[in-house]
Amino acid sequence: MQRIEGRAQHYAWGSPTAIPGLLGLPTTGEPYAEHWLGAHESAPSLVGGAPLDALIADHGEDILGAAAKERFGGRLPYLMKLLAADRPLSIQAHPNREEAEEGFARENEAGVPIDAPDRTYRDAWPKPEALIAITPFVGLCGFRDPVRTVDLIERLDVADELRSVITPLTQRKGSAALAQVFLDVLSYDGDRLRRVDLVVDAAANHTEDDAELGDLARALVQLGNAFPGDRGILAAMLLNIVTLQPGEGMFLGAGNMHAYLHGVGIEVMANSDNVLRGGLTTKHIDVDELMRVVRFKAEEPVLLPVEALGPRTYHYGTSAPEFTVWRVDPGKAPVPIPGSGARIGLVLEGDAQLTGGGETLDLNRGESVLLSAGDCATVAGTGVLYVSGPGI
């Protein structure tokens, strides 16, 4: 049971105030997009001043436990983040394990450097994700039913401008129609790109509408302000708009096309950096690989089931073997910290007192703890403790 120090990521889309406010840090005016807690080699957390990935390399079984070490090859299988989006992130999807292993090997054989800007696979791991909202959180998640998409386009009064989108969605079935339209809008250039501005202008007339049309219109205006003229705005029209209330979460499995638009949340993912982008970005878009990986299927967003495990302890269930997530609202009476294997806990909104193995560790708002596989502890206090661990 040791303190662990997270690592800041200052991407341009981040909020300058949200994460410093949650962690009790001074603001600098610089965007603070993510706070990483884990052993990813690009920004490993520090434990006693030492990088966590180096500690795991030297003491893997003691930290991870035998089962996780055997299953995940001596690698902490997840990465926990505090994420604050002030502006939208790129539309993206992630591969499953087989796709990641094949793509990583293929690019290695082709001699593509790991840090090359046109490299698609940075490692051989999948990257399922879960996002749990701390504030109201808006995102895009999976493809909307084409019938509803056509209806929304018509109600936005842009059916004539988007006839090439509507026609396949009404004449073809299922995944074939979605794939055709998605590929088509990613190829927009020249005069056809003018349709992006026409759609955003039309959406501005519907931002006060109720329900799904208003949600879509507000998202399109936000995307138009952040990425003027970007063809990815039309791709975004095909996706479900999701608004999570604090405490709610969603799961993003392999092949799920998604984007985060605005809000603060806890994000937990497999320990990977494999991202296939599909728009709203200046970075490399590998269209061919994207078309192979993306799940072109109309589906409703998957909200995480929340199960009460005992007094003030809640489990967010996912299908990912790499990670799972709990929330503990400690209170005055100590409650056990759930899970097994290497777990990372982050305290928000107050303080926490951890007791285990004859030791006590006091954590203030924004501080974090690493519990190794053999650590059993209880927690009390005024804060909320979010805990991540392996999903096996």
For the annotated catalytic residues, the residue numbers are 277
Looking at residue 367, its amino acid is E
Q: In angstroms, rounded to a whole number, what is the distance separating the alpha carbons of residues 130 and 305?
A: 11
Q: In angstroms, rounded to a whole number, what is the distance separating the alpha carbons of residues 172 and 164?
A: 12
Closest CA to 211 of 239, 248, 233, 241: 241
Closest CA to 99 of 71, 67, 121: 121
Please list the residues that pair with 15 across neighbouring strands.
Answer: 32
Contact between 82 and 19 (Cβ < 8 Å): yes
Query: Cα 384–385–391 angle (5° rounding)?
Result: 140
DSSP category for residue 298: B
Looking at residue 366, its amino acid is G
Q: In angstroms, rounded to a whole number, what is the distance separating the alpha carbons of residues 254 and 55?
A: 30
Q: In angstroms, rounded to a whole number, what is the distance separating the alpha carbons of residues 228 and 15?
A: 20
Contact between 360 and 353 (Cβ < 8 Å): yes
Contact between 380 and 335 (Cβ < 8 Å): yes
Q: In angstroms, rounded to a whole number, what is the distance separating the alpha carbons of residues 25 and 5?
A: 13
- To which residue do tokens 């406010």 refer? 21
Helices (H) and strands (E) counted in the chain, each on its own, are: 11, 24
Contacts of 58 (CB under 8 A, 6+ apart): none
**Phi and psi angles of residue 386, each rounded to the nearest 5 degrees, phi first:** -95, 130
